[in-house]
Structure 1
C-alpha cells in the first residue's frame, strides 16, 4: 500500500472515530446537531448560498422545512421531527379509487375505517396451509445473496426472488391496495422482518417520506405530502400474536407527524437508534394485530406503529413489509448510493428499480425494472433486519 493510500485509510478511520464519538456522546451530538441546523437554516434563508454548496447540502435545505429546523435548534438538538411533517385529510367520498372484481371489493365502511384508524386488516392473501407450504421456498430464495445489492440481505427481495413476486402479485392484495391508492401502483421497497424468541420490542415510530433513512433528505418525493401517496403492507409468514410480537398500531395517529426526543432515557429502540416519540399514546388507542400465516394488514406509515418483545420460548415471528406508491412519487431522487443512517448500512442503487405492480406507469419519474420470472435458491446465512 502506497503512502497516499495509507494516509487515506488513516483519515477515513479518524473520521469514523469522530462520528462514533459524536453519536455516543450526548452533549457532543446535541452541539453538532444544533450547529448543523443553524448552518442549514442560513443556506435556506439566503438562496444564492445554495449555488455555492454541495448537492447534499442543497437537498438538506430542501427537505428540512422551517418548522423542522426550528424544533431542532430551539431544543438544542434533542427534539427532532421523525420525518417530514404532513397531514392526512379524508377523501371527498368513501368510494374505492379503482374498479375491481366484486370478490375483492372493499366496502365504504372498510375505506372509512382505514382513514379513521390509519390501517386496515387483517385481510387474507392465501390460506394458512398454503402459506406454510410456500414459505420454505421463499426462505430458500431469500437466503441467497441479493442480485440487486450483491450480498445477503432482507431488503427488496421482490426484485430477485420469484417465489416472493408470485406471492404478492395476487389480486387478493393488489386489488385492495388499488381501491385505497389508485389503479396504477408501483412497488418500490420490501423488507424481511424476523423476530426470534426473546427479541426485544420495537419502539413506536412513524414515517412519511422516509427522511429518517438518510437523515438529511427525503427518500420519497411526492407531488403533495398531504395526500395519501404510499401504503405499506405487512404479510405474516408465521402465525403472529401478542406473545411472539405482533404488530401494534395507535389508531388515529396518522393525521400528523410527531417530534421525537432523541436519546431519551425512557425511550425505546428502533434499529440502532434510541428515542421516544412525543405523541399521546394511551392504552385505549393501542390496537394489536394478531394474524394467521397468509394474512396481511395495510397501513399508512404515518400511523404510529411498533411491536412488543417476542416473549415466547420457541416461536419465531416472520413477516415481510411491502411499500407501494403512486407512479407520480419520485423515489431516491438521482442518487446511486443510499445510506440508511440508523442501520449504518449503504446500498448501491445501480440495479434497483421500481416495479409496476398494477396498471401502468403514467408518470415516468422512476427507473423501472422487470419482476423476477424464475430462479433457484440454495443455502446461505439468513438475512436479518431490525424487527418491526
Structure 2
C-alpha cells in the first residue's frame, strides 16, 4: 500500500536538520516511497518513458531517445512525475531552505547501465556549463546561486551500480568557471580514467572548467550515498558531487531522477529560447516552470499549470 500523505502532514526540516544541511550542503537519504510502490510506479510508466516523442523537446528527428535531452523535463508529460515534483515529502524540505515561494524548473533522468563510467566531480551554479548561456540567474543581492537538487532513487543505488558521491561542505566554494568553453565529444564516453577511476561527463570533460587547472578534488573526503529504491537526497547543485562507475558485477541498472528547485525570484532561461546541449539544440516553446509552493510575485518566468496530457500540477500551500 502507498503511504498516505495528508494535507496537514509537514515534512519540513527541523532546526537541527537545517543546520546540518547548511553545514554539509546535503540532507538525506529520506523516504519518499515504499520500495514496492516505487517499483510498481516505475513499471507502470516505463512505456511512457521509452516513447520520448511525448516529451516537450521531441521535434521531428532532431531528438532521439538516446540523446540526454530526451530525459529532460518528463514531468511535463508523465503524470506520476508531475505528482512527484510537487510531493510534500520533497517540497516541504525544499521550502525549508529556499522559502515558501518555490518553483521546479528542470527534471532529469540519470540511468547508469552495467559497465557505464562514473560521473566526473562537478558543481553547478548557473548551469551554463554545457550550454551557451546561464540557465538560472539569482538576484544580484542574493550573494550565492545554484539550485536545490532532489535526487530520487527509482532503483536501488549502491556502490556497485554507481551511487552518488558527495564531498561534504564543498558547496561554499566554486572550483569551476561555468562560462569557460567546454567541448562536446561523444567519443569520450566511457573512455576516460581519472585518479584511477573511470569517470566522464556525458561526452564532456568537466575538468576543462576548472579555475585552477592543477587543482584536484579531495576524494579522501568523499562519501558514498547508498540509497534504497524510493528514497531521496537533497543537495545544493554547488556541492561537489560525482558518481561511482557501474561495476558490471550486477545486471541491475541504476536509475535516478532529479528535480531542481529555486525561489521564484530566480530567472530561468532569461537569455534564450532554445536549449543547446549534448550536440543538440531544441526549442523551449513547450517548456515552463512549475510553481510548487507559494506565489510568483516577479512575473519574469513562464509557468505551466498542466502536463501535456492535461493533468494539473498540485501546489503546496505556503
TM-score (norm 1): 0.65
Aligned to 2:315: none
2:36 paired with 1:129: yes
Alignment match of 2:14 (pick from 107, 116, 124) = 107
Instruction: Give, in angstroms, the shift of residue 334 of structure 1.
Output: 4.2
Structure 1: distance between partners of 2:109 and 2:152? 10
Are 1:181 and 1:230, in contact at CA under 8 Å, matched by a contact in 2?
no
Structure 2: distance between partners of 1:134 and 1:368? 26
Q: Which has the higher contact order (CA 8 A, sep 6+)?
A: 2
Structure 1: distance between partners of 2:25 and 2:310? 37
Of Structure 1 and Structure 2, the greater helix share is in 1
Give the greater-gyration-radius structure (CA): 1
Stretches of structure 2 lacking an aligned partner (at least 5 in a row): 1-6, 184-191, 312-318
The alpha-carbon distance between structure 1 residues 113 and 319, as it changes in their structure 2 partners (threshold 3 A), is same
Aligned to 2:3: none
Stretches (4+) displaced over 4 A: 100-103, 260-268, 277-280, 373-376
2:169 paired with 1:252: yes
The alpha-carbon distance between structure 1 residues 147 and 102, as it changes in their structure 2 partners (threshold 3 A), is closer
Alignment match of 2:223 (pick from 287, 299, 302) = 287
TM-score (norm 2): 0.79
RMSD between aligned residues? 2.5
Are 1:249 and 1:303, in contact at CA under 8 Å, matched by a contact in 2?
yes
Aligned to 2:102: 185
1:180-207: per-residue Cα shift (whole Å, max 9, x none)? 1111111110111110111111110111
Stretches of structure 1 lacking an aligned partner (at least 5 in a row): 1-99, 377-388
Are 1:199 and 1:310, in contact at CA under 8 Å, matched by a contact in 2?
yes
Aligned residues: 274
2:222 paired with 1:305: no
1:302-345: per-residue Cα shift (whole Å, max 9, x none)? 001010111133111001111111111111114221212xx112
Instruction: Give, in angstroms, the shift of residue 283 of structure 1.
Output: 4.1
